[in-house]
């Protein structure tokens, strides 16, 4: 989450070079004789597969969607330029394992401009106003951290009462924008434990393109949704897909917590109450892009600018302008307002975005917008939301989710205590699960 400096929705790990082992398995896709079945080809699944293959183990990945990437997808067809439908920000690139590997792919990873700007009515905030805002934001985050040391309450309960006219803006920035949920739904302990994300980067070809490069050569079965997992045996895990049943000595499950909560996968035996309770406390928030093609830069903004509104209600959004130098702008809606708006459909989302921009810049953009698109992640059947934020009292659920059940391990952004909600956190959790399995197997094969 972003605090004083810009960061998105979302510990260094040594990059593992898996290229030689990947070449051995390229194009096989056969589950015969595999050591590990990985459910999900998002960041966690890709990271786990690379680490296991580098450790000499055979894997197969089963993915419900028609492409790899999970919640990190780059679309190049809708606008003719890279459009990240999900994750876009590469947090802390100096220590982010995905960014480090990305530099080896030949893709253009470049630093994000620091900070953000705020619109006050139809002008940008003056320097003194920005100082007031940043000071109030520091007081808010400090108060949440202090409250977390006393008990795991809702972030909203911890906010100081002297935020004044900046309260709504700070509530949006720290809550919906940073966590995908209103602060009343976010654990103060979870918020306080999240790592700083005040330095960012972007991939000019798209974050999803970067993940796809890192997945090249992995044995992935696409369009293979898992319907059941039998994990009760001591020596094997069995996974059911439309193409048949796969069996291996171990499995890593990387599906989202909302998919688990929706019981879209039947577990045999049922997951223990301890794990079910943990998953229920780590539900995904809501975060969507309303993307607009605005030729000619009618708003007069720089590339990759993050702009907020000095708001007086939850009915607000953020603006990301001219992504990677293109004419693509994204209005992001999140939290309970974003969830309700998304539920009304793309037409309502577009209407809000254009009205909101018009109020901020005094310009009717309806005739100037060319192509357009709105994501609706809550409706994506293989995800059902954006990213996890622990409910009040639920921070400990992340460590519970990391506990293995016989030979079945969970991984994903929700299974990381400090980098939850990020692609880097999902990657590290996948590597963690893979390392645990390598220890279980006794090292390299």
Closest CA to 258 of 128, 431, 405, 387: 387
Q: Does the pLDDT value for residue 31 go beyond 90?
A: no
Domains of the chain: 19-111+203-283+389-441 (3.50.50.60)
Q: What's residue 444's pLDDT?
A: 59
Q: Would you place residue 198 in the very low, low, confident or very high pLDDT band (cuts 50, 70, 90)?
A: confident
Q: Does the pLDDT value for residue 281 go beyond 70?
A: yes
Q: What's residue 29's pLDDT?
A: 37
Q: Does the pLDDT value for residue 32 go beyond 60?
A: no
Q: Does the pLDDT value for residue 12 go beyond 70?
A: no
Cβ atoms 436, 404 nearer than 8 A: yes
**What single DSSP character describes residue 405?**
B
CA 421/CA 10 separation, integer angstroms: 5
CA 27/CA 46 separation, integer angstroms: 15
CA 407/CA 405 separation, integer angstroms: 6
Q: Which residues of 421-430 are buried (b: 16+ CB within 10 A; e: fewer)?
A: bbbbbbbbbb
pTM for the model stands at: 0.92
* pLDDT, mean of residues 47-65: 98
- Tokens representing residue 265 in the block: 């996968």
Q: What is the pLDDT of the chain when averaged over all its residues?
A: 92
* pLDDT, mean of residues 241-255: 97
Q: What CA–CA distances, in Å, run from 300 to 116, 185, 296, 297, 339?
A: 16, 36, 9, 5, 30
The pLDDT tens digits of the residues spanning 386-444 come to 999 999 999 999 999 999 999 999 999 999 999 999 999 999 999 999 999 999 998 65
Q: What's residue 115's pLDDT?
A: 84
* pLDDT, mean of residues 240-266: 97
Q: Would you place residue 445 in the very low, low, confident or very high pLDDT band (cuts 50, 70, 90)?
A: low
The pLDDT tens digits of the residues spanning 82-137 come to 999 999 999 999 999 999 999 899 999 999 998 899 999 999 999 999 999 999 99
- Torsion sign over Cα 40, 41, 44, 48: positive
Q: Does the pLDDT value for residue 23 go beyond 80?
A: no
Q: What's residue 296's pLDDT?
A: 96
CA 281/CA 268 separation, integer angstroms: 22
The pLDDT tens digits of the residues spanning 317-346 come to 999 999 999 999 999 999 999 999 999 999
The residues, ordered by sequence, that sit 6+ positions from 389 with a Cβ below 8 Å of its Cβ are 179, 180, 181, 185, 186, 187, 190, 191, 282, 285, 420, 421
% of residues, the chain, pLDDT over 90? 89
Q: What's residue 19's pLDDT?
A: 37
Q: Does the pLDDT value for residue 307 go beyond 90?
A: yes
């Amino acid at each position: 989450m972003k605090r004083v400096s810009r960061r998105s929705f979302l510990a260094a790990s040594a990059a593992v070079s898996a290229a030689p082992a990947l070449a051995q398995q390229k194009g096989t896709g056969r589950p015969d004789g595999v050591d590990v079945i990985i459910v999900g080809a998002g960041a966690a699944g890709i990271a786990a597969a690379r680490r296991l293959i580098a450790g000499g183990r055979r894997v197969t990945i089963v993915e419900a969607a028609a492409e790899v990437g999970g919640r990190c997808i780059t679309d190049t067809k809708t606008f003719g330029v890279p459009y990240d439908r999900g994750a876009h920000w590469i947090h802390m690139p100096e220590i982010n394992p995905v960014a480090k590997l990305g530099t080896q792919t030949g893709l253009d990873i470049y630093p994000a401009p620091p900070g953000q700007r705020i619109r006050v009515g139809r002008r940008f905030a003056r320097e003194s106003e920005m100082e007031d805002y940043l000071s109030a934001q520091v007081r808010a985050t400090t108060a949440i951290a202090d409250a977390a040391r006393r008990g795991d309450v809702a972030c909203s309960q911890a906010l100081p009462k002297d935020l004044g006219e900046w309260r709504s803006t700070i509530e949006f920035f720290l809550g919906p924008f940073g966590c995908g949920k209103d602060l009343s739904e976010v654990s103060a302990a979870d918020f306080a434990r999240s790592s700083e994300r005040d330095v960012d980067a972007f991939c000019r070809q798209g974050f999803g393109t970067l993940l796809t490069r890192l997945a090249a050569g992995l044995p992935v079965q696409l369009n293979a949704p898992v319907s059941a997992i039998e994990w009760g045996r001591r020596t094997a895990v069995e996974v059911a897909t439309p193409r048949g049943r796969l069996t291996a000595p171990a499995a890593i499950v990387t599906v989202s917590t909302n998919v688990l909560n929706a019981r879209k996968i039947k577990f045999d035996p049922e997951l223990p109450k301890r794990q079910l309770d943990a998953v229920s406390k780590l539900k995904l928030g809501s975060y969507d892009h309303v993307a607009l093609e605005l030729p000619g830069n009618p708003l007069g903004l720089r590339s990759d600018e993050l702009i907020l509104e000095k708001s007086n209600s939850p009915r607000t959004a953020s603006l990301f302008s001219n992504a990677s130098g293109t004419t693509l702008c994204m209005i992001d809606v999140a939290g309970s307002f974003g969830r309700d708006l998304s539920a009304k459909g793309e037409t309502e989302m577009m209407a809000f975005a254009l009205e909101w921009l018009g109020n901020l810049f005094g310009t009717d953009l309806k005739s100037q917008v060319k192509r357009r698109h709105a994501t609706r992640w809550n409706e994506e059947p293989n995800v059902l939301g954006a990213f996890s934020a622990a409910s009040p009292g639920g921070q400990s659920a992340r460590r519970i989710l990391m506990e293995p059940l016989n030979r079945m391990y969970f991984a994903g952004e929700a299974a990381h205590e400090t980098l939850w909600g990020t692609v880097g956190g999902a990657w590290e959790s996948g590597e963690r699960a893979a390392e645990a399995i390598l220890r279980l197997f006794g090292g390299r094969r």
